[in-house]
Structure formats: C-alpha cells, structure tokens
Chains A and B, each alone.
Chain A
Amino acid sequence: MRQISALMILAVLVTSCGKESKYPDAKSAYIVETIETPSGLNAETGGIAFLPDGRLVACFLRGEVMIYDPEAKLWKLFAEGLHEPLGVLPISESEILVMQKPELTRLKDTDGDGQADLYETVTDDFGMAGNYHEWTYGPVKDHDGNLFISFNTASEWGIIMDEVRGRLDTILVPFKPKQKFSAVPYRGWVAKVTPSGEFIPYAYGFRSPSGLLITPDNQLFVVDNQGDWVGTSTLFSVQQNKFYGHPASMIWVPGWKRGDPSKLPLEQLNAERQRAVVQFPYGIMAASPTQPVLDNTDGAFGPFAGQILEEIKGVWQGACIPFIDKQGLHKGNNRLAFSPDGSLYVGQVQHGFIGDTGIQRIVFTGKVPVDIYSMNITDEGFDLHFTQAMDEATLRDTSNYHFRHYYYEYHLKYGSDQFDVQKVGVKDIAVRDGGKTVSLKLENLKPGYIYELTMGELKSEDGEVLTNRLVCYTVNVLRSGRKDTPPLAY
C-alpha cells in the first residue's frame, strides 16, 4: 500500500500499432492529465475500472463508489458506506462487484435510478482480526467465471480486536520476532470464488498481495510487497495449493500440525516455496508495486503491447522497466485501468503512507517513444529490443552498458540487502534487425540473480536519447535449463 515510484506495465499481447494522433505536435510520447474529482471527495482511490458503456467506475477508501463520464466530465454517486473498498469489477452498468474490507459485495441498481440499492454479500468466508493491515484485494475474473481475491496479513503494529470474525489461532502471537501474522483464516491467502459462490482457499504464503491479474491465457499473477520474508517486491505466477514464501498463512493449510510455521527450519520453508517471476529491486525500481495491467489497446496506448515476460523451460521470468516516472504523474499509484480510448487511468492512494490522492490518465500522443520494448534472455546474455531503430555506433559502444548482478535473500528480517553484487562485463555486442535489437553477451549468466542494466545515452537513428535506461531482469533459469540458484536467493 505504499507508493510505487515507477509504473509497471506487463505487456503480453502482441499487436500492431498505428492510430491517428490527437497530439500531432507532441514533444513527448505520453502526457499525464489529472482528472478533476468532486469537491468534498477524499480521492484515495481503492479501485478503478471501465463500464461496458465507457464510463469509469471508481471506489474510494471512505466508502464511495462513483461513476465518471469522461465525455461530460461529470461524477455521479453509485454507492456509499463501504468499508475501505480496494477493488472494483463491473459486470454491467447496473451491477458492480466491490471488494471491501469485510466482504466481496455485489452492488445492484435494481430500480434503475442510477444508484445501487442492493448490497449482496458474494462471500465473507474469511476472517478478520480487526487489524488495520488486513486489507482485501481483487476481484479478478478468469475465463471460467471464477473470481480471485486476496487477503493481506495483519500487522504486528496493529491490534487483534476483542471480538474477531472467524476462528482465532494465536500460535503466532505474541509475535516475536516481529512479523506480519495471520490470526484468522486465510490471511495471506488468495481465494477463488466459483460462479456458484463456493469459496476455495487457493494459494498461500503472501504478505501483502495487493495486485491480481488474469492473463489472456487464463493464468493468475499476483504481486507481493517487500517486508518480512519478502526480500524485495515480486510478481508471482500463482497455482493452486502452492506456497509463496511468507509463512504466517501456513497455519490455515487444512490439517496443519507443524506448529508455528515461522519457526520451521529456513531450508525447509525455502524448499517449499515458489520463486517469483519478476523481482522489483527495492528502491531502484519501486518500493511498493500495486496492480499489474495488460496493454490490450491494439496500439492505441503506444508500442508496448508485446512480450516482456517469457517462459523458459516451463519457468516464467522477465524484466521490469520504469515506464512513466514523474512527468506529472503523482505518487501512490494504486490502481490502473485502460479506457476504451486506449488511455491508461491511474488512481492514487496514500492512507497514512507516502502517496497522493486523485485520478490521472496517461495518454499516448502518437509520438513513438525511444524506449526498451523487451528484454529476452539468450544462451549467454540478453537481447534488447527497442521501439525504434537505434543508432548503430552508440549501440556498439561497450561503455553504454553497465551490468550488475545481485540477489536478495529469503529470510524473516524485513527486506533484504543485496548479496554478491558484482559488475558483469559485456564481452560481445551484435546489432540486428536494422538497429532495433542488440544482442549482448555477458561474462557470466547465473540463475537466481537479478541482472540490472543501466544504459548510457543510447540514441535512436534520429538522435533522440533513450527514455528509460534502467532494466532489471530476474533470471530464474537459463535457456539450458540450469537453475542452481544461490541457496536462499529470493
């Protein structure tokens, strides 16, 4: 729930670009516009999404659900009184799912007056200790109509109320040493709610799973946030009944008889957990990543639709790159949604942490940015693909590539230092595709490491300097199938 300093877009669809520009004279590829919110609204944005008719629906932390007509620039109240809603999923103009702290709720306008009058509980089959940190996220819907929601762990700095909802298990209390805990069922889990309403605890081991995504091929991805047991923030590919590293939630595994999970031997926990697809180096890429979104705009949002993540020998991995940093974009970017016109709406939150309030949108001007399009692992290094043909001379200049590798560690202690930080030399450079791709061979390539590349002033053929010059690739596996990572590499 803290800020993200860089906006992450995980683009998986391959599309072509080429739409007429509304900004023919734009100097930059993207502009950031601020959406005016109604006076009196504390615009801490918990969720945003678009209705089938193209209007925006947003929920705010003081409990309002509001609908915004981007044409008329008018806001209308749809529902109120909700408990810290942090996710919204429209079914139709008159039916909207909202994830609020105590439950997943179906809001229905049954009398057609434009406001919800029916607040139906879809599921509340999870516990609440009454701890402020027990946020709930989602829902996202898979192709079979199942909904996925996720439950934050509770904070050792917060309370357990005298009365809780759900079975209380205080094996982790008092929490010494300090760590996030799960005193009631399914804190630290992702759950699946079937179309018939059945609640299925799905996967566990999360600390603060604040963003969920279903990919076009029906896979679930979940973001987790750096802290105890989470060396740096991550993106996971999530499968049923698997464990994702934070032990607190393990006590709700059916038939659990192994006592306080945080006291299990570290090697054992380490062996049982799933590795991240992408790690976001803390303080370098972002502090608290939030929601992944897919660029499914067919080029209306620019050239980034395409593959950044890749599956090597059945293992997902890939790179993260800053997309928009500053340029008028506020802090605390919590929720994202693509508008039917291809612009990306971003809702902000602060909630006692660093951040901002409000809603902005990022609009592609039609001017193709000079940027990294993707980074792919090769046998001995990486291929970098650019959005435009680059100047060959700068591409061939070794001094333009500063590679380092390091890894974060899996352990109880909050966050992680970087281990085995080493510069990695580039031993060979090949320019391909008329300057749109450069193949870099490295002096070493090892699984379990993040390879961080900071580039010099690479230029396009037209002499424009590369916009984002930082990219971090999480190497889980080599193309050869080698995956002998350092033992506790996060």
Chain B
Amino acid sequence: MRTTLVLFFVWFLGHSQLSLAQADEEIEREIEIKAIAGLKYDLTRIKVKPGERIKLTLTNADEMDHNLVITKPGARLQVVDASNKLRENGPRLNYVKASDKVLWSVRIVTPGQSAYVIFQAPTKEDVYPYVCTFPGHGLVMYGAMYVTTKDLPPLEKDLNVPRATATDVGMEHHHAVADLHPYKTTPPYLYRIFMPDAGPAAIAVSLPKQLSYCWDAGTCRLRYAWQGEFLDPKKYFDKKAEKYAQIMGTIFYRDKTSYPLKFSVDKNPVVDFKGYKLIERYPEFHYTIDGKDVYELIKPKEDGSGLIRSFKVPEATQPLYFDFDNSDGATYTTSKGNINGDQIKLTAEDAHAFVIVMTKKQTAK
C-alpha cells in the first residue's frame, strides 16, 4: 500500500512538471470537452492525429464534480475499478489510481470550473478511452479518443461510446406520447407536469377531438387551451425532470383575466385546490373560492371547435361573475345568466349549475 502511494506521487509530480515545462507554444490542437447533466461528456469521441500535441480542457457544466482520465486502449473499466477502491483517499488523489493503464488526466473539476492537461498523443493508432472516475460515474460517463488519420465509424454503430449517445442520435425528431407508459394513452387523460406559461402545479389534459388544455392547480384556473397533438413530456421525463413538457399543437386560448370567477366584481377570491374526480376519465376539478366549493368539468365541443366548461357552485348564496377577455381567443355562450361585455353575471341560483361554451375564434387571414 505504501509503495503504491509513493509511486503515485512521483508520477503525479512528474506529470505536472511536464505540463509546465513544455508550455502552450507547442500545442498543435486545443480541444474542450464539457461535463454535462446526466453523467455525460458533451463530446463522446474526439479524433487526433498520432503524435499531435494536445491541450485538452475539461469544463464542468454539470452540478457534480467530474474528472477526465485517458487510459490505455481497453483499460477503461480496470481504471474505473481501481479508482473505486481508493475509498476515502479518493478526493485527495482526484479519484485517480496511478497505474500504467492511466495515460493522462484532468483533475477533479467542480461545477462551473475548468482545468486542462497538455499531452502528446500516442504515435500508435488506436482507440484510447477517456472516462470520469468520480465514484459511480465511470460505468456511464466516458468517451473515446481516436488516434488515427482515418475516418471514424458511424457514431450509432460505435461501440466505444456510451450506448445512450448512440441511440440519442436517431431520436432527434419529436415523438408524441407513445411507449412512455405500460398502457396506451387514449384521451381523455392527464399529466401533472411542469408546463410553460403556468405555475409549477400545472395539469395538462388531453381531450378527444385534438383538443388539450392546461389547468393550474396552484391558482385554480384554466390557463390556456390548444389544438393539435397533446404533449411531448419526454423533455420533462428525461433525466432530472427539470424541463417543461412541450406543447405539440397551437394554443388558441389564453386566460387574460386577473381571475375569472368571483363573488365580487372588483376583488379576486381566495382560492384553494381540493383535487379532482374522474368522470368517464374527464377530470372534474374541485376547488374553493372564498371558501365555497366549485366543481369544474371541461369537455370538447362535439365538432372540436372549442371547450364546454360545466361549473357547479352548489353553496352559492350571492351572484357570481365570470370574467373573460375579448382578446383571449374565444367567443362565449352561457347556459345561464347574462353576458355583458367581457363578463357573465349569474344569480346565486344560476351559479348552482351552469355551462359556459368557449368557441375558438376564426382567425382572419
């Protein structure tokens, strides 16, 4: 054990002296590799000429620590395995166990930082793996340095790069919801998911007739509706679930009021989300405005030209107002009450159960 440690220090010193002594002027090529989210390098392979002097910079664009170790051909897993055995000595040694399998390395780089190594590429043409040896990363976070003057094999058939990279290449076009669940998704159905232009507690609902809408469980209101395909949730599902789901249609309606439903003309109510009940798989939202229960069920119009919103406010004891905005993309009819400009006024009795139909405005072209 003692011997290995001593050897390592000698190796490391020698290595850094080399970098200092043979400075930037001789560099023939600079390469930057970024560590990115999902335990990946942004470049999963690089090509250099035999004997070329390289300055290789590792920039950490992820939120975990990463290093980059270039190994002898075929030695990636051995190097990773040896690094894993460093245990508590790992941090001090930049998670690199010195051996003849390790050619060069860029030390551990913390998020947002960069470090580099200068080296002369081997003269022997071969594939030299590079890998992050931070504990747990080495099995998936790697790439291949091709020392060659020839063309590289097609990326999707390259067994020297992580498999995910190979598949990603063929997956660049959009997929709607398909094969994401152990069942077939048939409208109506919903996702609670991060949606653009809504609060973080958003609900996206797919309706029949190529209609969809976004309902916000934080603010208890319909935010917008669109026509076309539903969502591509893959951006959200991938990795850490930090991206918005992607709308796969054209938004035709956006609520532009400060809040649509109120008991007082000039004051927005206090709202509270209570959940939803699935009625023939359509969600009927339950929330309160100023403490009074509201039930809202949204269905598509038979001809697909808009939404039918059925409201129930069974405990209403005073008039209820429903505000909209002429420029919100819809025209309105109501089963009860009167439309006055941008407002529908309902009596308390009307409010117990009423239906508002929103039809997509024909766009003048």
Binding site for B on A (CB under 8 A): 2-3, 5, 37-42, 61-64, 66, 75, 77, 80-84, 100-103, 105-106, 116-121, 124, 128-133, 155-159, 161, 163-165, 178, 281, 283-284, 287, 331, 351-354, 414, 417-418, 421
Contacts and interface: CB of A to CB of B under 8 A. Distances in A.
Contacts of B39: 352-354
A62 B38 contact: no
Given A64-B182, A102-B201, A128-B200, 11 more contacts: A5-B136, A103-B201, A103-B273, A119-B278, A124-B218, A131-B242, A161-B194, A283-B87, A352-B37, A352-B238, A353-B240
A469 B189 CA distance: 52
A286 B63 CA distance: 19
A129 B200 contact: yes
Contacts of A130: 194, 199-200
A125 B93 CA distance: 46
A466 B77 CA distance: 29
B74 interface: no
B62 to A, nearest CB: 8
B228 interface: no
A157 B35 CA distance: 14
Contacts of A103: 201, 217, 273
B189 A124 contact: no
B192 A102 contact: yes
8 contacts: A62-B233, A80-B189, A103-B217, A119-B275, A121-B275, A124-B218, A351-B240, A421-B88
Nearest to A77: B183
Contacts of B218: 102, 124, 128, 163, 165
Contacts of A102: 192, 200-201, 217-218
B362 to A, nearest CB: 31
A81 B189 contact: yes
B201 A124 contact: yes
B135 interface: yes
Contact of A164 (B110, B182, B193, B200): B200
A439 to B, nearest CB: 27
B353 interface: no
A456 to B, nearest CB: 15
A159 B275 CA distance: 26
A331 B180 CA distance: 22
Contact of B277 (A117, A158, A178): A117
Interface residues of B, number: 48
Contacts of B201: 83, 102-103, 124, 128, 165
Interface in B188-205: 189-194, 198-201
Contacts of B139: 354
Contact of B273 (A75, A121, A354): A121
B63 A352 contact: no
A163 B200 contact: yes
A234 B90 CA distance: 21
A61 B192 contact: no
B91 interface: yes
A163 B199 CA distance: 5
Nearest to A3: B136
Contacts of A157: 63, 111
Nearest to B287: A121
A40 B135 contact: no
A354 B136 contact: yes
A132 B180 contact: no
Sorted from nearest, which 10 A-B pairs have the closest CB atoms? A132-B242, A352-B239, A83-B192, A130-B200, A352-B240, A38-B182, A102-B201, A157-B63, A128-B200, A41-B182
A82 B200 contact: no
B289 interface: no
Contact of B63 (A105, A121, A155): A155
Contacts of B103: none
Contacts of B87: 283-284
A331 B182 CA distance: 23
A105 B286 CA distance: 13
B140 A119 contact: no
Contacts of B88: 281, 283-284, 418, 421
B111 A118 contact: no
Contact of B200 (A133, A161, A287): A161
A42 B180 contact: yes
A426 B201 CA distance: 57
Given A163-B200, A283-B87, A352 B182 contact: no
B274 interface: yes
A238 B114 CA distance: 40
Contacts of A39: 182
B322 interface: no
B137 interface: yes
A105 B203 CA distance: 14
Interface string B109-153: 011100000000000000000000001110110000000000000
B31 interface: no
Nearest to A102: B201
A165 B179 contact: no
B53 to A, nearest CB: 35
Given A119-B277, A159-B242, A164 B199 contact: yes
Nearest to B184: A40
Interface in B247-282: 273-279
Nearest to A131: B242
Contacts of A5: 136
A118 B191 CA distance: 15
B237 A42 contact: yes
B241 interface: yes
A283 B139 CA distance: 16
Most B CB contacts (10 A, CB to CB) among A81, A284, A354 go to A81
B181 interface: yes
Given A103-B201, A118-B277, A352 B38 contact: yes
B181 A120 contact: no
A287 B136 contact: yes
